[in-house]
Amino acid sequence: YGDPTAAAKFWRHQQYDDCSIMSAADVIGQVTGHEPSEHAIIKKAQNTPSASHSGSIYIKPADKNDPNAGMGTMMTDLPTLLKEYNVNAVISNKDITAKTGVPAGIEGLEQLLSGGRKVIISVNAEMIWHKPIENKDKNGNPRSDHAVVVTGIDTANNVVHLNDSGTEKGRDEQIPMALFMQSWNTSNQL
């Protein structure tokens, strides 16, 4: 399902805490053929009011030596940002699939990808990067903290293909399906 090879050319490694908007830039490139640069999409996000909180969609890090010194971007703001590039989007998770009409689970991703749709999801980064999990909820459970683009699902090999701007090896990053599901479930399949 999907075309990870074609999508791979739209991957870029992020320079700031901007995985959500870099995922949006990737999708914009896949849909329109014209991917905005990191600088251009940051500028657009800084000048677009958030639908989720006061202020803009993205606030660049205050300390340029610490890429995590900013606020990042809420996943709920991605449809607003994508609309600025004439790309329609719906935000959904497994609890509101009936309301949004967006299918849930791995089968839902397969359906979306086979229909030519582009998919941005929220995962726990440390989990897919095989690093100690730092971002946890009050009960000690891993929490989602990273956005990626799902570009393909290989059911024969139980592998999910991602464009992951958060790692230098993120172009067509391939994750075992079980690990992918574990990491995606940290966001309630957002």
Per-residue confidence at 129, pLDDT binned at 50, 70, 90?
Answer: very high
pTM of the complete model: 0.93
Give the C-alpha separation, 22 to 130, whole Å.
22
Summarize pLDDT for 81-117 with one digit per residue, the tens.
999 999 999 999 999 998 999 999 999 999 999 999 9
Per-residue confidence at 61, pLDDT binned at 50, 70, 90?
Answer: low
Summarize pLDDT for 63-87 with one digit per residue, the tens.
666 655 566 788 999 999 999 999 9
Q: Where are the alpha helices (DSSP H) in the chain?
A: 4-8, 19-32, 38-46, 78-83, 97-100, 105-114, 125-128, 177-184
